[in-house]
Structure 1
Amino acid sequence: MSKIISFISRKGGTGKTTNAINLATTLAKLGKRVLLVETDTNYTLNTLRKMELFKVKDGLANFEILGSQDHQVADELAKLKEGKKHDYIVVDSAGKTTDEGIKKLCLVSDAVVVPTSLTQNDLLVTYQTVTDLSPARELNPQLKIIILPNRIHSSTNVFTVRENLKNLDAIILPVIVPQKNLFVNFSTLDAEKEYQPVAQAILNYLA
Structure 2
Amino acid sequence: MSKIISFISRKGGTGKTTNAIHLATTLHQLGKKVLLVETDTNYTLNTLRKMEVFQAKDGKAAFEILGSEDHQVAQELEKLKDSRKFDYIVVDSAGKTTDEGIKKLCLVSNAVVVPTSLTQNDLLVTYQTVTDLAPARELNSGLKIIILPNRIHSSTNIFTVRDNLKKLDAIILPVVVPQKNLFVNFSTVDAEKEYQPVAQAILNYLA
Question: Shorter-chain TM-score: what band?
Answer: over 0.9
5 Å matches for 1:130-169?
130-169=130-169
- What's the counterpart of residue 178 of structure 2? 178
Q: Which amino acid aligns with 2:182?
A: L
Deviation sequence 1:160-206 (CA, Å, 0-9, x none): 00000000000000000000010110000000000000000000000
Instruction: Measure the CA separation in 2 of the matches of 1:56 and 1:49.
Output: 10
Shift of residue 57, structure 1, vs aligned partner: 1.3
**Local SS of the residue matching 1:121:** helix
TM-score, normalising length: structure 2: 0.99
Q: Secondary structure at the match of 2:79?
A: helix
What is the CA-CA distance between 1:44 and the residue it aligns to?
1.1
Match of 1:70 in 2: 70
SS at match of 2:205: helix
Task: Please list the CA deviations of residues 131-169 of structure 1 after superposition, one character each: whole Å capped at 9, or x if unmatched.
Answer: 000110110000000000000001001000000000000
Shift of 1:62: 2.1
Structure 1 match to 2:32:
32
Once residues 77 and 172 of structure 2 are traced to their aligned partners in structure 1, the CA distance between those partners, rounded to angstroms, is: 26
Q: How far apart in 2 are the matches of 1:165 and 1:82? A: 35
Q: CA deviation at 1:60?
A: 2.5
Name structure 1 gaps, 5 residues minimum. Answer: none
The corresponding residue for 2:81 is: 81
Displacement of 1:47 in angstroms is 0.6
Distance 1:172 1:5 in 2: 15
Q: Does the alignment pair 1:201 with 2:201?
A: yes
Letter paired with 2:83 = G
**CA RMSD across the alignment:** 0.5
Partner residue, 1:57:
57
Equivalent pairs, count: 207
Secondary structure, counterpart of 2:6 in structure 1: strand
| Aligned-partner SS, 2:5 | strand
Q: Which amino acid in structure 2 is aligned with residue 96 of structure 1?
A: K
- Output the CA distance in 2 between the equivalents of 1:157 and 1:87: 34
Match of 1:48 in 2: 48
Mapped to 1, the partners of 2:180 and 2:47 lie a distance apart of 23
User: 1-side partners of 2:78 and 2:2: how far apart?
Assistant: 10
* Whole-angstrom CA distance in 2 between matches of 1:151 and 1:42: 25
CA separation in 2, counterparts of 1:177 and 1:59? Answer: 30
Aligned identity (percent) is 88
Task: Please give the secondary structure, in 2, of the residue aligned with 1:48.
Answer: helix
Equivalent position SS for 1:160? helix
Q: What residue identity is the alignment partner of 1:107?
A: L
- The C-alpha deviation readout for 1:81-131, integer Å capped at 9, x for no partner, is 000000000000000000000000000000000000000000000000000
